[in-house]
Amino acid sequence: MNYEYFIAKRIIGSKAYKSSISAPIIKIGIAAIAIGIVVMMIAIATGIGLQQKIRDKVVAFNGHVTITNYDSNNSQETIYPISKNQEFYPEFKSVQGIKHVQAVATKLGVIRTETDFEGAILKGVDANFKWDYFKEFLVEGSLPDYSNKRNEEVLISQYLANRLGFKLGDKFQMVFAKNDLNKSPNIITYNVVGIYNSGFQDFDSTYIIGDLRHLQRINNWEKDQIGNFEVFIDDFSNIERKTIEIYQNTPSLLNTQAITDKFYSIFEWIKIFDKNIYGIIGIMILVAGINMITALLVLILERTQMIGILKAIGSNNWSVRKLFLYNASYLILLGLFWGNIIGLGLLFAQKYLKLIPLDPSVYYVTEAPVYINFGYILLLNFSTLVLCLLMLLIPSYIITKISPVKAIRFE
Give mean pLDDT, residues 309-313: 75
For residue 18, name the pLDDT band (cuts at 50, 70, 90).
low
DSSP state of 148: S
Specify the pTM: 0.80
Q: Classify residue 64: in a domain, yes or no.
A: no
Residue from 137, 107, 131 nearest 228 by CA: 107
Beta strand pairing call for 117-125 and 98-112:
antiparallel
What's the angle, vertex CA 63, arms to CA 242 and CA 197, rounded to 5?
150
Residue 90: asked if its preceding bond is cis (omega within 30°), the reply is: yes
DSSP 313-362: TT--HHHHHHHHHHHHHHHHHHHHHHHHHHHHHHHHHHHHH--SB--HHH
Q: 247 and 101: one domain? A: yes
* Contact yes or no for 388/285 (Cβ under 8 A): yes
Residue type, position 316, single letter: N
- Lowest-pLDDT range of 72-76, 305-309, 334-338: 72-76
Judged against a pLDDT cut of 60, whether residue 1 lies above it is answered with no
Domain end among 252, 279, 297: 252
Phi-psi region of 304 (alpha: psi -120 to 50; beta: other; left: phi over 0): alpha
Residue 96 belongs to some domain of the structure: yes
CA-nearest of 176, 163, 165, 411 to 305 is 411
246 & 274 share domain = no
Do residues 288 and 381 lie in contact, with contact meaning Cβ atoms separated by under 8 Å? no
Alpha carbon distance 102, 89 (integer Å):
8
Residue 63 lies in a domain: no
pLDDT computed for residue 64 by the predictor: 94
Where is average pLDDT lowest: 71-75, 306-310, 340-344? 71-75
Q: What is the pLDDT of residue 241?
A: 93
Rounded average pLDDT over 218-236: 91
Mean pLDDT, rounded, for 232-254: 91
> What is the mean predicted confidence (pLDDT) over 322-338?
86
Mean pLDDT value of segment 51-75: 85
Query: Coil, helix or strand for 382?
Result: helix
Specify the higher pLDDT residue, 54 or 361. 54
Per-residue pLDDT, averaged over 44-61, amounts to 90
Question: Mean of the pLDDT values across residues 251-269?
Answer: 90
Q: Give yes or no for residue 409 having a pLDDT over 70.
A: no
When pLDDT is averaged across residues 45-74 and rounded to a whole number, the result is 86
Last residue of a domain, one of 252, 284, 304: 252
- If asked whether residues 116 and 143 sit together in one domain, one would say yes
**Helices (DSSP H) in 99-211: which residue ranges?**
132-137, 158-164, 201-204
More confidently predicted of 309 and 129:
129
Q: How far is residue 73 from each of residues 79, 119, 214, measured CA to CA in Å? A: 8, 19, 22
pLDDT score recorded for residue 135: 92
Model confidence at 366, pLDDT cuts 50, 70, 90, reads confident
Can you give the pLDDT at residue 208?
94
Residue 322 has pLDDT above 90, yes or no: no
Same domain for 94 and 230: yes
Could you give the 3-state DSSP secondary structure of residue 126?
coil
Q: What is the mean pLDDT of the chain?
A: 85
Domain that holds residue 237: 71-252
Whether 41 is in a domain gets the answer: yes
Same domain for 175 and 309, yes or no, is no
Contact 45, 351 (CB under 8 A): no
Domain check: are 44 and 78 in the same one? no
pLDDT at residue 319 greater than cutoff 90: no
pLDDT score, position 106: 93
